[in-house]
Homo-oligomer: A and B are copies of this chain.
Amino acid sequence: MRADVILFASGSNGKELQNKAAVVIDVLRASTTIITALTNGCQAIIPAIDVTEAGELARRLGGNCVLGGERNAQKIEGFQLGNSPLEYTTEAVGGQTIVLTTTNGTKAIRMTSGASQVLVASFANIEAIVKQLAAQDMDVSLICAGRNGGFSFEDTACAGAIIEALKPDYLTDSARMAHIIYKSGACNSEALIAVSEHAEYLKSIGLEADIEFCARMNWTEIIP
């Protein structure tokens, strides 16, 4: 099995995903939020590319949904939920369909349309993701959502954690790099997230609790 890492979704058109399993990673916070919502019993999550599309999807669903998402890490006006996984409790999302739009994560999911399979990963479900990937004989592309059109340290570290557990036969340059990044932090997800630019920003707007939650490893078997 060959593993590749796409270092930021906006730098790719997704053409290289044919016949591959694509794993979308947006640790802070979209993929952790999606995984948390599904673990807490939400029925479905529909990714929307922007606020307009999210509104249209909600209208088509006849209002039978919860609108969630962020811009600049803040809840969008008129939306019920933001992008903090801590908001996506059983009380808030149990049995609901969620239309979600985030700056990087939902865009990364949408660019995977050419892949044979699309999974969503964060530190929360690495063991489950690796178990599923290992049971298949398919090349894997780990897609870091990135941040503001660029590289994101915490997503790359998470891709490296998947590579560490998956042990693919061949690593591309970017996969080798992600693996080194993960091991450089002594495989400590909390420490790796803490040094990232995005964690610094979330901390500056009072969202420390989200950072801590997103660093917790392997507490769910859910694979979106």
Distance (Å) between the CB of A142 and the closest chain B CB? 13
Interface residue tally for chain A (C-beta within 8 Å): 23
CA distance A136 to B195 in the complex (A): 27
Residues of chain B contacted by A152 (CB below 8 angstroms): 173
The docked-state distance in angstroms from the alpha carbon of A147 to that of B174 is 11
Q: How far is the CB of A137 from chain B (nearest CB, A)?
A: 22
Give, as a whole number of angstroms, the nearest-CB distance from A65 to chain B. Answer: 34
Which A positions have Cβ atoms within 8 angstroms of B? 7-8, 10-11, 147, 150-153, 156, 172-174, 176-177, 180-181, 183-184, 195-198
List 6 extra interface pairs beyond A151-B174, A153-B176, CB under 8 A: A11-B11, A147-B173, A151-B177, A152-B173, A153-B174, A177-B181
Residues of B within 8 A of A8 (CB): 11
- Indicate if the CB atoms of B173 and A196 lie closer than 8 Å: yes
Q: Inside 8 A of A196's CB, which chain B residues have their CB? A: 173
A selection of 21 A-B contacts at a CB cut-off of 8 Å is A7-B7, A7-B151, A8-B11, A147-B173, A150-B173, A151-B173, A152-B173, A153-B173, A153-B174, A153-B176, A153-B177, A172-B197, A173-B196, A173-B197, A173-B198, A176-B195, A180-B181, A180-B184, A181-B181, A183-B184, A184-B184
A90 to B176, CA, bound (A): 38
